Amino acid sequence: MQDPFDGGVYNKCTNAAFDGMVMPGTTKLPRYVVQKGTAATLDFAAVTAQAARILQRFKKQWPGLADTCLQAAQKAWQWALQNPAVEYDQNKMNALYKPAITTGGYGDKNFSDEWFWAACELFVTTTSKEYEPYIEKYIAAPMNIPSWGNVHMLGCYTLLRTRPVLSAKPGLSLELLKQQLLVFANNIINYTNAALNTIMGHDKSDFVWGSNSVALNQSIILINTYLISNNKRYVDYALQNLDYVMGRNATGYCFVTGSGYKSPRHPHHRPSVADGVELPVPGLLVGGPNPGQQDHCAGYPSQLPAESYLDETCSYASNEIAINWNAPLVYVANALEALQFKIGYSK
């Protein structure tokens, strides 16, 4: 997705419109590589800079790959410096070009979080001073639960994981970052949904499109808070939200396909619909309760936020499969597995 000539990254590669419920490879419609943008380019820079750092440990297995990732990250950063405010505006683009692209736009008008995340990853990987001003500028920004529209917290995680790198740079305020995270985590756990004994759902604003990712990203925040505080209670609360996703919720569903005694059977997931197998692909997390009900499917059992879930293929607002809520499930499940002996859950 990176332009090899200038380092910019295209927003997406897409059909003009969504495919029907068919298997991959069935459709033969043209696909379009669509517009480079600042957000996509900085996200790419962050991911490839982190990948370069990880892949350094595997030079024998993948010679040269770490170097390639770092070069791609640095080239993307340079493109962003030259194009600091290129917004992907799908409606504006469709007014100028045909065919109209009607797949999800995910427009983003605020790039401060992308600048921060990319700078954090490149700084930790390279220790170059050129990225410090961007960290200093945004390090004190308000913390938020990560989402596709706000990746600031991802940069915070990286800085806190690599404290020895940051501690050598007093201007980057490691102590401030730690205190911010502690305050933010304490605000999360101070409000518990008494009916379900979980921090998820203490406020109806938790129940957005992909609400299960809200629960799991809350848990990731708490696990990272444990890592800087060594206070087990943060992990206890993180486990509550995994319990919520796995079935202790107002719907009674385990939201992971193929798990538990009552799990989604009709997710909004093309391979699960089209593969000719009655049960869906197992191990996938659906979006979860969403009172917005943007799909306008008939049959939602309730308007109440915690119960606004429908196990039907048409319900993309509550029963969709998406990578950005399956990823935090993988993180939380594996983190709790890794910590179980240290914190005393297992002996």
Task: State the residue for tokens 């429908």.
Answer: 310
Phi, psi of 32 (to 5 degrees): -125, 135
Q: Which are the contacts of 186, defined by CB distance < 8 A and separation ≥ 6?
A: none
* Mean pLDDT across 160-170: 72
Helices first, then strands: H and E counts in the chain: 12, 2
pLDDT tens for each residue of 215-235: 999 999 999 999 999 999 999
pLDDT tens digits, 175-204: 889 999 999 999 999 887 777 789 998 888
Percentage of residues in the chain having pLDDT higher than 70: 97
- Whether 195 contacts 201, CB under 8 Å: no
Peptide bond into 99 cis (omega under 30): yes
> Which residue type, as a one-letter code, is found at position 327?
A
CB count within 10 Å of CB 119 equals 26
Structure tokens at 89: 């505006």
Give the pLDDT score at 92: 94
**CA torsion angle 122 128 131 132 (round to 10):** 120
- Widest CA span in the chain: 64
* Planar angle of CA 115, 119, 125, nearest 5 degrees: 155
d(CA 41, CA 92): 20
Instruction: Encode burial over 316-327: b for 16+ CB neighbours within 10 A, e otherwise.
Output: bbbbbbbeebbe
Determine the Cα–Cα distance for residues 222 and 236; give it in Å rounded to an integer.
9
Report the pLDDT value the prediction gives residue 176, as an integer from 0 to 100: 85
Task: Reply yes or no on whether the pLDDT at 171 is more than 80.
Answer: no
Q: What residue has token string 């997390």? A: 285
Q: Locate tokens 């193929």: which residue?
A: 258
Q: Where are the alpha helices (DSSP H) in the chain?
A: 38-55, 65-82, 90-96, 112-126, 132-138, 152-161, 163-167, 174-189, 211-229, 233-245, 270-274, 323-339
168 pLDDT above the threshold of 70: no
pLDDT mean over 128-132: 93
Q: End-to-end CA distance of the chain: give it in Å, rounded.
A: 47
- Which residues make beta-bridge pairs with 268? 320
Q: For 49-81, how does the pLDDT look when each residue is reduced to its tens digit (9 = 90+)?
A: 999 999 999 999 999 999 999 999 999 999 999
pLDDT band (50, 70, 90) for residue 170: low
User: Domains of the chain: which residue ranges?
Assistant: 195-341
